[in-house]
Amino acid sequence: MKVLGLDVGDKKIGVALSDELGLTAQGLTVINRTSLKKDLEEIKKIIELHNITEVVIGYPRNMNGTAGPRAELVERFARELYKFTGIKPVFWDERLSTVEAEKLLISGDISRRKRKKVIDKLAATLILSGYLNYKSKN
């Protein structure tokens, strides 16, 4: 059972993948957004290539727990992904995932230019990892 993790942004989609047992998350790629159709096609290729059975999408919440301003855009993307792939995505609270990713990259002494290239993939990995940890305990 492989799980796909997505960090959906305006310009990029970070993509992470679990192992077969659904225990660990690894960054896979970053999709540079062009159009909704092409973005969905790219994700569907990944789903088919890796035999994905579940998709987790980072859900943008405010610090007080309410849905963030980007939540509606992410919900719309998730609905379209479901129509296109037949897999109903699960939402996972992504509060601070990008901040945490940035801190990890800075602590690893990664240059600003290199951070820009991998931050979305790392954020997707953190989202997926949090979800997998939660699932393993329940």
Sorted by sequence, the CB contacts under 8 Å of residue 98 that are 6+ apart come out as: 7, 119, 123
| pLDDT tens track for 28-63 | 999 999 999 999 999 999 999 999 999 999 998 877
| pLDDT tens track for 68-117 | 778 889 999 999 999 999 999 999 988 656 666 666 656 665 666 665 66
In this prediction, residue 86 carries a pLDDT of 96
CATH of the domain at 112: 3.30.420.140
Q: What percent of the chain stands above pLDDT 90?
A: 61
Find the helix packing angle between 36-49 and 71-85, rounded to 10°. 60
In this prediction, residue 69 carries a pLDDT of 78
For β-strands 12-18 and 2-8, DSSP reports them as antiparallel
101: containing domain: 2-137
